Chain A
């Protein structure tokens, strides 16, 4: 996935001189995960900038650049550090269009690594998608494959909205996938039906997609697996279509349970399809507290067994 995002940024920068990258250690060092490796050498220090260590400044300045016609791609080194720029995102990126009745727009793509499972220090494993989805005005995207990462990034870079581009750290190098060399787009706001089945619907995204796939394969389940790809706005149509077909639904994400994305998805299903369900909606997520230190993360993140037992419970109803 690292290579796919790098490639997407490279293509976008070749195609549009307004695309510029900024962030901590993204230039010479190529980013702490090497996502921007080689881009400064290729496009120069004027377009791939190592900034001072100041997250609020990075996002605030990116908003300014976007207001003035550029298309900045700020990187925040880890999702846990993005909260230092929370005020800029919520107060300004999410609102500038509306407050100006679309006189102004903030076309920027905020990149950050999210989620855990790789034994990192505190604040390096957060799954913050619900915070940014809650405000409205921010598009929140999270790829689960290299193919989607490239296509969603190229699409995000064509949008006239601020896009939060959440990159699961664990998936950066977890598996390889052949992807086209040329530019292509994956639509934002559309979920991907990864696998089709009749017995139940599993709605997921990000780090949990391949975990869910593995469970489905091992248990030989006849399930729909819906990879949301975009958290906000939700592809409600795809969710309801699947749920109405199977009558049973389980939502799986790494973000913690309470007030998480699963709550929103479950509420929409309950409002619009409850009479077509033959079992209660289920959620599998991390428990309802902040991400623990790495020594405990395997007790926190949902794993195959936790997902499997929840599915057993769902299917037994």
Chain B
């Protein structure tokens, strides 16, 4: 009889900045300094303001169903700031903070969330791909995009975002496995916000961590405090630096402070105690504590920053609301050309002014 252990794996958990705003100096990334931490703080605050505004527009009927990001700012901002200019990202439907940091025009953001495809018309050279709604289906795309970078000998990594629920989908594993076997420059970021609508993380998988799912694909995996922007930045930066050697899976442990989308009511399926527990781990609050302790921030700066953000957001909303849809366009982007059969339907619709008006 032969009995030998053929595999053993461990998952490390990384935290650099704790809830009290205290930093572990031994883990502090060498390429970060305090000005960069201030920048992280500003982006996170900006993302939260953007989120609050979009939610309020939705409540007024000025935006469609929306997936709030509140609570997940550190995961999004830390990872987006770790990207180098050539790197690319593939989101799901909640990475508004990543879009923000990567310079996506807010006007387009609001056009998108008003329910028009024109909000998905990317500016030339933008380093992100489209919002993807069917859960985890974007991860194989991310693997393919990573393949193209490697094929073209580009020193570029691809960040693919997925939620905790998404790790249960076949596409998550298939994309990860593809990247593992081909050693692709893919950094898969699990934004583990603990809830897939009403289903808690513990009912999603019997695995102790989501990071360990990387083992099954032979992909380096790590778990980080997803409410610690420095830890996220560090883990993602290292994964990007190593991307030429192969993929990494990073589980960011965070919390969805609000609803899944504006279409559900979290009080129906989770306790306020749990929400309060996580509120104490707030990703922005701890950076504020760090900055306060170092005298790098104060209420005046906060007020000035907020005013700037709100003005930029309001200006973008105003521009987005000026957008007037032209129904003809819904026919014009189906194929690279207009087939005669579709042209017939198009002509009929235009002739009838899209049947607007009452019978």
Chain A residues within CB distance 8 Å of chain B = 24-25, 27-30, 32, 50, 52-57, 80-81, 83-84, 119-124, 214-215, 218-219, 257-258, 287-290, 292-296, 298-300, 302-306, 308-309
Contacts and interface: CB of A to CB of B under 8 A. Distances in A.
Given A53-B135, A121-B64, A295-B116, A305 B171 contact: no
B115 A80 contact: no
A25 B330 contact: no
A84 B197 contact: no
Contacts of B175: none
Interface in B304-357: 325, 327, 330-331, 334, 341-342, 345-346, 349, 352, 354-357
Interface string B102-142: 00000000000011110000000000000001111100000
Interface residues of B, number: 46
B168 A123 contact: no
B166 interface: yes
Given A32-B197, A299-B330, 8 more contacts: A28-B198, A30-B268, A53-B166, A55-B169, A287-B346, A302-B355, A305-B355, A306-B352
Contact of A29 (B133, B169, B198): B198
B359 A296 contact: no
Interface in B133-156: 133-137
A300 B115 CA distance: 14
A306 B134 contact: no
B355 A303 contact: yes
Contacts of B171: 84
Contacts of A25: 196-199
B359 A304 contact: yes
B206 to A, nearest CB: 10
B355 A306 contact: yes
A292 B330 contact: yes
A296 B168 contact: no
B341 A258 contact: yes
B49 interface: no
B357 A289 contact: no
Contacts of B331: 287, 289
- Give the interface centre of B64, B137, B268, B334 by most chain A CB atoms within 10 Å: B64
Interface core residue of A30, A54, A55, A304 (most chain B CB under 10 Å): A54
B116 A53 contact: no
B330 A300 contact: yes
B220 interface: no
Q: Sorted from nearest, which 9 A-B pairs have the closest CB atoms?
A: A29-B198, A295-B115, A53-B165, A52-B168, A299-B327, A294-B115, A306-B355, A305-B355, A295-B116
21 contacts: A24-B199, A52-B168, A53-B135, A53-B204, A55-B169, A80-B134, A81-B134, A84-B134, A119-B64, A121-B133, A287-B330, A287-B331, A288-B345, A289-B334, A294-B64, A299-B327, A299-B354, A305-B355, A305-B358, A306-B352, A306-B355
Contacts of B355: 302-303, 305-306, 309
Nearest to A122: B133
Contacts of B345: 257, 287-288
A215 B359 contact: yes
A124 B349 CA distance: 24
A254 to B, nearest CB: 14
Contact of A288 (B136, B268, B342, B356): B342
Contacts of A302: 355
Interface string B183-200: 000000000000011110
A80 B133 CA distance: 10
A53 B331 CA distance: 34
B34 interface: no
Contacts of B346: 287
Contacts of A219: 359
Nearest to B61: A119
Nearest to B112: A293
A170 to B, nearest CB: 15
A306 B359 CA distance: 9
B136, B330, B356: residue with the most chain A Cβ atoms closer than 10 Å: B330
A77 to B, nearest CB: 8
Contact of A305 (B114, B136, B341, B359): B359
Contacts of B170: 54, 56-57, 84
B32 interface: no
A257 B345 CA distance: 9
Contacts of B168: 52-54, 57
Contacts of A293: 115-117
Contacts of A56: 169-170
Contact of B268 (A28, A80, A257, A289): A28
A53 B196 contact: yes
Contacts of A300: 330
A286 to B, nearest CB: 10
Contacts of A122: 133
Contacts of B354: 299
A296 B330 contact: yes
B300 to A, nearest CB: 40
Given A54-B170, A292-B117, A305 B198 contact: no
Interface string B262-284: 01100011000000000000000
Q: Choose among A122, A258, A290, A308 the residue with the greatest number of B CB atoms under 10 Å from its CB.
A: A122
A80 B93 CA distance: 15
Contact of A84 (B169, B269, B357): B169
A218 B134 contact: no
Contact of A289 (B197, B264, B269, B342): B342
A56 B358 CA distance: 43
A287 B332 CA distance: 12
Nearest to A28: B269
Interface string B36-79: 00000000000000000000000000001100000000000000
A219 B170 CA distance: 51
Contacts of B134: 80-81, 83-84, 123
B203 interface: yes
A234 B101 CA distance: 54
